[in-house]
Chains A and B, each alone.
Chain A
Amino acid sequence: MNFDLTNDQKMLQREVRSFAETELAPVAPQIDVSGEFPWDNIKKMAKLGLLGIIVPEKYGGSEFDFVSLAVAIEEISRICASTGVIVAVNNSLVSYPILQFGTEEQKEKYLPPLCSADKLGAMGITEPNAGSDVAAMESTAKLEANHYILNGTKRFITNGGEAGIFVVFAYTDKDLKYKGISAFIIERDTPGFTLGKHEELMGIRATANCELIFEDAKIPKENLLGKEGDGFKICMNTLDVSRIDIGAQAVGISQGALEEAIKYSKERKAFGQLISNFEMIQGMLAEMATQIHAARLLVYYAGYCKDKGIPPRFSKEAAMAKYFAANMAVDVTRKAVQIYGGYGYTKDYAVERLYRDAKILELYEGTSEIHKIVIARELLR
C-alpha cells in the first residue's frame, strides 16, 4: 500500500498550485461578480496541458492518470471553483467519453482542439423535465439519410455558452426506454443549434451555464458517439469518472476555506485574545481538517480504482467519494464562514464565495440523494 504521490504527480501539484496562486487568484473574486468566462486563464492552462490531462499525447493531451487529474482539479479549485469545473468538464465529461467510446476519426478530429482549448467542451444530459431521471429526457434524434435530426432542449449546461464541442444525449428510439438513448458529438456551428437562457448562478458563476436548443439540428451521421442505444451506458460511465473530479473540486474548495479560516483565526481578536485560542474555534478547525483529509483519501482512492481498473466497476467508490466530499465541502465552507463571524457574510472575504461555490457540489453530476441510491443499490445487490 502506498499513499505517496508519484514524482510526476508531486511536480504537477507544485506547478498547478503555483499557477493557481499567481494567475487564478487575482481573477477569481472578479469573475464571481461579473460572471465573465475566464478565457485568458483557460488558454494559458491549455498551453500547460491542463485541458487534456487524461488524453494521450498523440491526441494533444498530457497523458496523466485520474489521480493526477484529481490533484490538478483540487489545486485549481482551491483558488477558483469556476475554473476548476470548467477544466473538469473539458477533461472528464467531454474528452473522456470521446476517448473511451469514439472512433479513431472522432478522436483525431475532436480531442486536439479540446486539449488546446481552441474549442472547449460541454456535455448536455439535463433537460427542463429530466434531471435526476435521465431516462425521462425528451430530446430525440432521427436518422434521415446522412444526418440525425435532433430536437430538444438541454438545460444548465456548464461551459455551454462558450463551448465549441458538445456531447449531447437524445433518444433515437423511445420504445427501448433508456436503451434507446444515443450520444452525439455536436459542433457549435451546427445548423439548427442555438443557445438559450444564460443562467445566473448562486456560485461557480463564471462557468457560462447555458441552455442548448436544438430545432431540427442536422448532425452528421458520423458524429454518433458509440452505437445507437449506447447513450445511457456512455452517460453513466462518464458520470462515474467525472465524480472523481467533482470530489476533487470539493476537496479543493474546502482546503481553500480551511486555509482562510486558520489565517483569520490567528488575526482576529475577541474578549482580549485571538479567536484561535477558543476551543470551539479550534474544534471547528480540527473537524474541517479531518473532514477534508477523509474526503481527499476517498477521492484519490476512487481515482486509483479507475487507474488500476479495480474493482472493475468502481461506481460505488466514485459515488461515495463525490457524495461524501460534496457534503463535506458544504459543511466545511459553512464552518469557515462561521469562524469569520459577520465578516464571512460579506463579499470582502473569500469564504463567502467558497460557501456559495460549494453548494453546487451536492446538486450537479447527480444530487446527493441520487448518489445514496447508487451506493445503496451496490450494497443491496
Chain B
Amino acid sequence: MDIIVCIKRVPQTAEAKVEIESSGKDIVKDRLTFDMNESDMYALEEAVLLKEKFGGTIIAISLSCSDAEDTLRIALAKGADTAIRIKAEDFDELDGYKTAQLLSAVIKDIHFDVIFTGCIATDDAYSQIGATLAELLGIPHATLLTNIEVIDSISHVHRELEGGLQEHIEISIPALFTIQTGINVPRYASLIAIRRAAGKEIKLVGQNEISKDQLLLNTQIEELFIPPVAKQVKIITGSPGEVSKELAGIIREKGLI
C-alpha cells in the first residue's frame, strides 16, 4: 500500500496572543512556535498503521517554507519513508486552489493507493485542499474520516457528520481521505527513529520542476482582523428562588443541558 500524506506546518496559537502584521494580511509570526497541523498528525499515524499492516511506502509532502523541513523530519521519524518539500518561496501568494494545484503537480507523477490529508488546517481553516486535490487528480475522496474499516479496491470508511451522526461509505481506491482528529492515537517517535530521520534528505521541488503558467490564484486575502469582543452580560436580580429559576430557564433555553 503506497500512501501519500500531505502535511502542513502551522503556528501554535491555542495559548499565544495573536496579533495582525502591519500589512494587515497576515499574523505576526516571529514569536510563535510552529508544529505539524493537528489533524495531519492523525493522517500520518493512519498511514503508518496501514503500512504496518500491508507494507508499502509512505511519502510525506508539504508545500512550505524551508523551516517546515523540521516538521517533515518529524514525519520521517514517525514512519514516513521519504519527504518532499514543495518550495513555497518559489510560488508567491497561495490559496487553497493553488496549493492543491501544486500538490497535484507533484503527486500526479508518483504511484499511490491512498492519499491522506488532515481534515482542516488550524491556521487558515480552509478545508479545501483534500477535496480539490482529489478532483484535480481525478480520484474519489471522502472527508472527515473517523474510522477506516476496510481498505481495498472496495474500501469501507466512516465519516463524521453534524450532530454526532456517522456515515458509512463504500469507496474504491486509489482515493483521497481527509482525516479527523481522534481516529487513532498518534505515536511518539523513538529516539532511534529520530536519529535516522535527522540525517535523511528532503527532496525539494520548485519552479524548475513545476511550471507556474497554469497556476491559478482564485482568492486573495483583503484584510485580517481580530473580531471585536462583544460583551454579553446579563445580571439577574431578585430573590434566590427567582434568580435560580430564571438562570435554569436560560440554561435550558440555550441548550446548555
Residues of A within 8 A of B (CB): 6-8, 10-12, 14-15, 18-19, 47-50, 53, 57, 62-64
Contact = CB atoms under 8 A, between A and B. Distances in A.
A11, A14, A49, A50 — most chain B CB neighbours (10 Å): A11
Interface of A (DSSP majority class): helix
A62 B74 contact: no
Interface string B51-89: 000000000000000000010011001000000000000
Nearest to A68: B191
Nearest to A12: B194
B126 interface: no
Given A11-B77, A14-B74, A62 B195 contact: yes
Contacts of A7: 70, 73, 198
A11 B192 contact: no
Given A14-B35, A14-B74, 4 more contacts: A8-B194, A11-B194, A62-B191, A64-B191
B191 A50 contact: yes
Contacts of A53: 191
Given A7-B73, A11-B70, A14-B74, A47 B190 contact: yes
Interface of B: 35, 70, 73-74, 77, 188-192, 194-195, 197-198
A363 B231 CA distance: 53
Contacts, number: 47
A59 B189 CA distance: 19
Nearest to A52: B191
A8 B70 CA distance: 10
A18 B194 contact: no
A19 B188 contact: yes
A209 B189 CA distance: 31
A57 B189 CA distance: 16
Interface residues of B: mostly helix, strand, loop or mixed?
Answer: helix
22 contacts: A6-B198, A7-B73, A8-B197, A8-B198, A11-B74, A11-B194, A11-B197, A12-B194, A14-B35, A15-B77, A15-B189, A15-B194, A47-B190, A48-B188, A48-B189, A48-B191, A49-B190, A57-B192, A62-B190, A63-B192, A63-B195, A64-B191
B85 to A, nearest CB: 14
A11 B188 contact: no
A45 to B, nearest CB: 9
Nearest first, the 3 closest Cβ-Cβ pairs linking A and B are: A49-B191, A62-B191, A8-B198
Contact of B198 (A11, A18, A19, A62): A11
A50 B194 CA distance: 12
Nearest to A23: B188
Contacts of A57: 192
A80 B63 CA distance: 37
A8 B74 CA distance: 10
Contact of B192 (A6, A10, A49): A49
A52 B158 CA distance: 41
B189 A11 contact: yes
A15 B188 contact: yes
Nearest to A49: B191
Given A10-B70, A11-B77, A18 B188 contact: yes
A48 B77 CA distance: 12
Central interface residue in B74, B189, B191, B195, by most chain A CB within 10 Å: B191
A15 B73 CA distance: 12
A340 B208 CA distance: 57
A64 B190 CA distance: 12
A124 B197 CA distance: 38
A18 B33 CA distance: 14
Contacts of B70: 7, 10-11
Contacts of B77: 11, 15
Nearest to B36: A14
B195 A64 contact: yes
B69 to A, nearest CB: 9
A262 to B, nearest CB: 11
Contacts of B194: 8, 11-12, 15
A12 B191 contact: yes
B39 to A, nearest CB: 16
Contacts of A10: 70
A145 B189 CA distance: 48
A18 B194 CA distance: 14
Nearest to A22: B188
Contacts of B195: 8, 62-64
Contacts of B73: 7, 11
Contacts of A64: 191, 195
A19 B188 CA distance: 7
Nearest to B76: A11
A315 B77 CA distance: 35
B246 to A, nearest CB: 29
A63 B74 CA distance: 18
A17 to B, nearest CB: 10
